[in-house]
């Protein structure tokens, strides 16, 4: 069998990019690289065509983008690109299509119209009817058009795809809110932990201060910046005698001038985050905005770290903690903190606790639900279900 994977996220460093690459790699691991044709519709990818891969590149100029809008497409597609993808499906004898987003509606409709017995599934990185409605309010005019067309395309996508796949219960509720349907599968965030340090453990990147190390990992994404500023003002200043704070991640160098504090270390971009995770005592994620599931939460779980996070940062994760057989994780190693008072209470308690730098129970949860092994199980179930439905008469 031959499979097609279509995505716009493969070149991004954001959470959606991590998720898209995990989906691609999981599919390849399941069926073999020779059996997967990758269609990269990212505007970051240079035009390229080779065996089992095609990238179309960015539209050439604003006029071409407007033409795509007139055709009813978002900026990623023209009618010619959609026709070309359908031609590839025919020439490559594609048997299954994984669409790694939810607003490729005119493409999905065209595929299902031309190949009605071809299983097509669509993954929602988030529900665009919810997210784009917010983005429209704070975007420039040309982007507003794209977001409005994107919402219309998501409605088409929902109508024509064979399986709707979301991250978690919250996203399923948003799907029902906007389209009056529930998802067919959950495919939560799964990450591949960097285990290069097993042969040679990296050096400890933290300064010896006699204090416990709090780690914040993120990118220069607005909710991250606002979240860590809030934590510093409302929480850290009250517990600084027991802790120092490290801020690590691409683009966060922008905070160096903001934190004029000897107990706060703004590292910014780091080639390998593993050493910061390994030697940290506590990982925090004080986020109150965003959508989907947070990649950094899964990363912290993969290292077995004591974790303090908001409802937003634990979305899709916290409910899984009840499934651990000994129930020794929730509010003992993983703490839900939505107020400054709660953060301070937990940190006051942990300052006198022998905090383990690696907790096997948290790693067990990660392996079961958020690891590459888990991703293979999720993906196989999705593929089997979609293919079986197409082979069933009257489906």
d(CA 391, CA 117): 8
Mean pLDDT of the 299-314 span: 96
pLDDT average, residue stretch 103-116: 98
Q: Say if CB 94 and CB 54 are below 8 A apart.
A: no
d(CA 314, CA 319): 9
Mean pLDDT of the chain: 93
Q: Where are the domains of the chain?
A: 3-192+371-391, 196-367
The pLDDT of residue 340 is 98
**Domain 196-367 grouped into CATH 3.40.50.2000:** yes
Degrees, nearest 5: CA angle 313-190-267: 55
In this prediction, residues 129-143 reach a mean pLDDT of 91
Tokens for 45, please give them: 């990818």
Taking residues 140-164, report their average pLDDT: 96
Confidence of residue 325 (pLDDT cuts 50, 70, 90): low
Nearest to 335 by CA among 219, 235, 252, 253: 235
> Where does the pLDDT of residue 322 fall: very low under 50, low under 70, confident under 90, or very high at 90 and above?
confident
Per-residue pLDDT, 337: 97
The CATH number that domain 3-192+371-391 falls under is 3.40.50.2000
The confidence band for 197, taking pLDDT boundaries of 50, 70 and 90, is very low
> How many Å apart are CA 301 and CA 91, to the nearest integer?
43
Least confident of 5-19, 75-89, 338-352: 5-19
pLDDT number for residue 196: 45
Residue 17: its pLDDT value, please? 87
Q: Please state the pTM of the whole predicted model.
A: 0.90
* pLDDT band at residue 345 using 50, 70 and 90 as cut-offs: very high
Query: Nearest-CA neighbor of 154 among 133, 177, 127?
Result: 127
Cβ atoms < 10 Å from Cβ of 34: 10
Sign of CA dihedral 94, 71, 292, 8: positive
Determine the average pLDDT of the residues in 226-235.
97
**Would you place residue 13 in the very low, low, confident or very high pLDDT band (cuts 50, 70, 90)?**
confident
Residue 87 near residue 111 (C-beta atoms within 8 A): no
Domain 3-192+371-391 shares a fold with domain 196-367:
yes
Distance CA 199, CA 320 (A): 31
């Amino acid at each position: 069998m031959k499979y097609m994977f279509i995505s716009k996220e493969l070149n991004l460093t954001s959470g959606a990019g991590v998720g898209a690459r995990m989906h691609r790699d999981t599919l390849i691991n399941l069926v073999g690289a020779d059996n997967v044709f990758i269609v990269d519709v990212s505007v970051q990818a240079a035009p390229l065509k080779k065996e089992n891969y095609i990238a179309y590149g960015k539209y050439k100029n604003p006029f071409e983008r407007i033409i795509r809008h007139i055709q009813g497409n978002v900026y990623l597609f023209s009618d010619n690109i959609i026709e070309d993808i359908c031609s590839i499906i025919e020439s490559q004898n594609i048997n299954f299509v994984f669409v790694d987003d939810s607003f490729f509606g005119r493409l999905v409709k065209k595929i299902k119209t031309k190949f009605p017995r071809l299983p097509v599934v669509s993954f929602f990185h988030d529900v665009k009817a919810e997210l784009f409605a917010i983005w429209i309010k704070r975007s420039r005019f040309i982007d507003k058009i794209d977001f409005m067309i994107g919402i219309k395309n998501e409605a088409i996508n929902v109508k024509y795809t064979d399986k709707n796949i979301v991250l978690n219960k919250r996203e399923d509720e948003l799907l029902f809110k906007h389209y009056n349907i529930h998802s067919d599968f959950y495919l939560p965030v799964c990450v591949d932990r960097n285990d290069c340090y097993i042969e040679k453990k990296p050096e400890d990147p933290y300064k010896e201060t006699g204090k416990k190390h709090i780690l914040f990992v993120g990118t220069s994404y607005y909710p991250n910046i606002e979240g860590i500023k809030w934590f510093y003002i409302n929480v850290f200043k009250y517990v600084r005698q027991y802790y120092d704070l490290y801020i690590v991640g691409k683009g966060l160098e922008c905070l160096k001038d903001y934190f004029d504090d000897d107990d706060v270390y703004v590292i910014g971009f780091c080639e390998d985050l593993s050493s910061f995770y390994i030697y940290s005592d506590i990982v925090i994620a004080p986020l109150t905005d965003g959508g989907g599931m947070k990649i950094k939460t899964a990363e912290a779980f993969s290292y077995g770290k004591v974790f303090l996070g908001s409802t937003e940062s634990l979305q899709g994760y916290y409910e899984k903690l009840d499934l651990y057989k000994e129930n020794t994780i929730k509010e003992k190693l993983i703490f839900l903190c939505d107020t400054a008072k709660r953060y301070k209470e937990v940190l006051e308690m942990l300052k006198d606790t022998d905090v383990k730098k690696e907790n096997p129970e948290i790693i067990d949860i990660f392996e079961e639900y958020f690891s590459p092994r888990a991703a293979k199980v999720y993906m196989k179930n999705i593929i089997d279900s979609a293919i079986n439905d197409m082979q069933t008469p009257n489906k």
